[in-house]
């Protein structure tokens, strides 16, 4: 087998990984660089996807899927079933005239994406690929186990152990067993100043915040379903406040409710209300939690004199608000006084160590982190291979 990281070494995001066996060639993720990323590494996805048998997307964050339009049309793109639908709703919103970042051509391409299901192995030539559902700040995210030429490679995608699904990962990976190569993300190893709390700790803290504040605005990613679930459950535990969002967010939550209800009640968002003006008085009287984003619709509520004594919770990466990675729209939108309550979508050093000790790789290839040598500091008893972007590695 041969592994080539086209991009993703010594940078967070922009991931493109190629894996070849004797008779098959696939790509895992075709991501764009994160905004304001310093990386100078350019990848011509049209070129590298040529003669590929398939492209597999670990999850719908743009640093893993953003270059999908560059993939050669004859090459099938695979993604999780729910991930495909949520990404479609998200991209349709990006098509709205006020945003106009994508066109109908994008939506048509997404329609052609094939889907896979957790644990169902797909055969591509002499290669076997098994998607393993894991926990991340994107819903329906996967690791991939690739087997060919008598070797086993585990690509982690982005993952964490400290969310609702994370608790199950050790058991799932024990079933996977030992691997030859672990291609492993290590985002948090360079974000050492980040306070790392679990999703459950966040939910607990949110209950008190909601209890103590009548009007609560929450800013988090519209596609971070586990985060929305944390605030939704915190709100229910805190009392009788309304839980409100806009039509776009409601469409995503309705889809998640519909497709998960058979298995769990945890993602049942059926009493989340999409704002239609009718219950404005109710909002004033009962109080509310409202999911907001940096747009005019949200701004009207955040700035309204009716909700003057509100609490604004900022629940996503601080890098969007501060420093060189700051996003201008977000900086303008978030009030000066905000409450920071966030749980990372990425595994802590402890989580990464745990995964390594379960699958006991012969070799670890660090990706999706600022500096691959951060991995050495974990002092794990496994060989760490510091690859260069675009350099082929034979196993």
Residues that bind Zn ion (CB under 5 A): 13, 61, 63, 158
Radius of gyration of the chain (CA): 21
In angstroms, what is the minimal distance from the CB of 389 to Zn ion? 16
How many Å from the N-terminal Cα to the C-terminal Cα in the chain?
A: 5
User: Which residues does residue 30 pair with via DSSP β-bridges, in sequence order?
Assistant: 16
In angstroms, what is the minimal distance from the CB of 199 to Zn ion? 15
User: Nearer Cβ to Zn ion, position 13 or 80?
Assistant: 13
In angstroms, what is the minimal distance from the CB of 8 to Zn ion? 9
Cβ atoms of 220 and 227 within 8 Å: the answer is: yes
User: Nearer Cβ to Zn ion, position 213 or 315?
Assistant: 315
Query: Rounded CA gap, 393 and 395, in Å?
Result: 7
**Strand positions, DSSP E, 269-362:** 273-274, 288-292, 310-314, 339-340
User: Nearer Cβ to Zn ion, position 234 or 387?
Assistant: 387
In angstroms, what is the minimal distance from the CB of 191 to Zn ion? 12
User: Nearer Cβ to Zn ion, position 57 or 102?
Assistant: 57
Classified as helix, coil or strand, 98 is coil
Closest CA to 138 of 66, 234, 54: 66
**Strand positions, DSSP E, the chain:** 2-7, 16-20, 25-30, 54-56, 77-80, 114-116, 122-124, 127-134, 141-148, 151-155, 181-185, 215-219, 242-245, 273-274, 288-292, 310-314, 339-340, 363-367, 383-384, 392-394
User: Nearer Cβ to Zn ion, position 13 or 351?
Assistant: 13
Cβ atoms of 24 and 38 within 8 Å: the answer is: no
Question: How big, in percent rounded to 5, are the helix, strand and coil portions of the chain?
Answer: 35, 25, 40
In angstroms, what is the minimal distance from the CB of 61 to Zn ion? 4
In angstroms, what is the minimal distance from the CB of 63 to Zn ion? 4
User: Nearer Cβ to Zn ion, position 18 or 63?
Assistant: 63
Burial degree of 394 (CB within 10 A; 0-12, 13-18, 19+): exposed
Residue environment code for 23-37, b if the CB has 16+ CB neighbours within 10 A, otherwise e = ebbbbbbbbbbbeeb
User: Nearer Cβ to Zn ion, position 1 or 229?
Assistant: 229
User: Nearer Cβ to Zn ion, position 58 or 249?
Assistant: 58
In angstroms, what is the minimal distance from the CB of 386 to Zn ion? 20
Sign of CA dihedral 219, 220, 225, 229: negative
In angstroms, what is the minimal distance from the CB of 136 to Zn ion? 6
In angstroms, what is the minimal distance from the CB of 159 to Zn ion? 9
Phi, psi values for residue 314, rounded to 5°: -100, 115
């Amino acid at each position: 087998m041969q592994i080539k990281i086209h991009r993703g070494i010594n940078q967070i995001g922009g991931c493109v990984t190629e894996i070849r066996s004797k008779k098959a060639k696939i790509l895992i993720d075709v991501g764009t660089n994160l905004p304001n990323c310093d990386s100078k590494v350019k990848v011509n996805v049209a070129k590298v996807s040529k003669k590929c048998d398939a492209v597999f997307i670990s999850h719908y964050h743009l640093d893993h899927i953003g270059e999908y339009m560059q993939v050669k049309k004859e090459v099938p793109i695979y993604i999780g079933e729910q991930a495909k639908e949520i990404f479609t709703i998200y991209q349709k919103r990006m098509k709205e005239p006020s945003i106009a970042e994508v066109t109908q051509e994008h939506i048509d391409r997404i329609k052609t994406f094939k889907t896979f299901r957790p644990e169902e192995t797909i055969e591509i030539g002499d290669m076997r690929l098994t998607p393993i559902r894991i926990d991340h700040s994107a819903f329906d995210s996967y690791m991939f186990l690739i087997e060919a030429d008598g070797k086993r490679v585990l690509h982690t995608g982005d993952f964490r152990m400290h969310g609702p699904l994370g608790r199950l990962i050790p058991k799932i990976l024990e079933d996977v067993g030992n691997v030859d190569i672990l291609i492993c993300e290590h985002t948090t190893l360079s974000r050492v100043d980040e306070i790392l709390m679990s999703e459950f700790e966040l939910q607990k803290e949110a209950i008190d915040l909601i209890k103590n504040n009548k009007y609560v605005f929450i800013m988090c990613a519209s596609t971070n379903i586990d985060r929305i679930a944390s605030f939704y459950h915190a709100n229910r535990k805190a009392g009788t406040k309304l839980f409100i969002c806009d039509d776009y967010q409601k469409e995503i939550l309705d889809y998640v409710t519909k497709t998960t209800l058979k298995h769990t009640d945890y993602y049942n968002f059926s009493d989340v209300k999409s704002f239609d003006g009718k219950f404005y008085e109710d909002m004033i009287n009962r109080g509310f939690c409202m999911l907001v984003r940096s747009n005019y619709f949200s701004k009207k509520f955040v700035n309204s004199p009716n909700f003057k004594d509100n609490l604004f919770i900022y629940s996503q990466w601080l890098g969007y608000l501060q420093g060189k990675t700051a996003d201008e729209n977000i900086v303008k939108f978030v009030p000066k006084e905000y409450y920071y309550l966030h749980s990372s979508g990425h595994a802590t050093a402890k989580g990464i160590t745990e995964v390594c000790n379960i699958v006991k790789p012969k070799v670890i290839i660090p990706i999706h982190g600022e500096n691959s040598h951060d991995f050495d500091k974990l002092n794990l008893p496994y060989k760490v291979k510091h690859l260069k972007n675009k350099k082929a590695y034979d196993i």
